[in-house]
Amino acid sequence: MPGEIFVITAPSGTGKTTLLKPLMAADPRLRFSISYTTRPRRPGEVDGKDYFFVSPEEFRRLRDSGALAEWVEQFGYGYGTSRDWVLDMVRGGGDLIFDLDSRGARALKKEFPQGTLIFILPPSLTELERRLQGRGGLDPEELARRLANGRAELQEPYWYDYLVINDDKATALSHLQAIVQAARCRTSQLWPQLASLYLGRNH
């Protein structure tokens, strides 16, 4: 059975990392899709786990050779997804979670239409700003850039498959878990393996 593709988009500071950690810890079938990026590593981030951190030259080489299923340039850095890596994972039956902006989500859905798109929303713009500021680690310019980008991203959720509001963390987490389970129960996913159990048998 091929694996599922889940694409998560959320404005920076919404609480995506906060929610994905317990989601993935409780569900060993879920694996995180590791993107390439040219942005510097943040404290605590691990190369090959959070991202593949590459130089701008290496990123350009990957992009120009067609190795990226999708890529964007944002906040002055490149971010992109390796096509072969995704195909290998999905063929191997792994359920992959992608953390992509809305442009990446749109591009990935084109290439993998079976993917489930989930947008996580902050309860308000004021709360988004409070969380982003509270997390720390951003200079005022980058903070302003991420807030402006977040406001633009919040024009996009209407074409996603599912919306999750991260107000109360436990509620948001249970909604994410329900979406993951629902996707796995889709007829298109299950019937190909089940059909032989039932078809052509009269007893």
Binding partner selected for residue 81 from ligand 5GP, ligand ADP, none, CB under the kind-specific 5 to 8 Å limit:
ligand 5GP
Helical ranges in the chain per DSSP H: 16-25, 56-64, 83-91, 102-111, 125-135, 140-153, 169-184, 187-198
Query: Is 60 one of the binding residues for ligand ADP (CB under 6 A)?
Result: no
The DSSP symbol for 47 reads B
Angle (nearest 5°) at CA 161 between 38 and 144:
40
Among the listed residues 18, 149, 177, 189, the single contact to ligand ADP using CB under 6 A: 18
Q: How far apart are CA 60 and CA 141, in angstroms?
A: 26
Query: Is 81 one of the binding residues for ligand 5GP (CB under 6 A)?
Result: yes
Among the listed residues 79, 119, 160, 162, the single contact to ligand 5GP using CB under 6 A: 79
Residue with tokens 């050779």: 65
Per-residue contact flags (x/-) with ligand 5GP for residues 33 to 62, judged by CB under 6 A: --x---x-----------------------
Token digits of residue 18: 């906060």
Query: Is 15 one of the binding residues for ligand ADP (CB under 6 A)?
Result: yes
Whether 93 contacts 79, CB under 8 Å: no
Query: Is 95 one of the binding residues for ligand 5GP (CB under 6 A)?
Result: no
Query: Is 166 one of the binding residues for ligand 5GP (CB under 6 A)?
Result: no
**CB 168 → ligand ADP: shortest distance, Å?**
6
Per-residue contact flags (x/-) with ligand ADP for residues 140 to 179, judged by CB under 6 A: --------------------------x--x----------
Q: Please report, as a single letter, which amino acid is at residue 39.
A: R
Q: How far apart are CA 21 and CA 88, in angstroms?
A: 23
Interaction site with ligand ADP (CB under 6 A): 10, 12-18, 131, 134-135, 166, 169
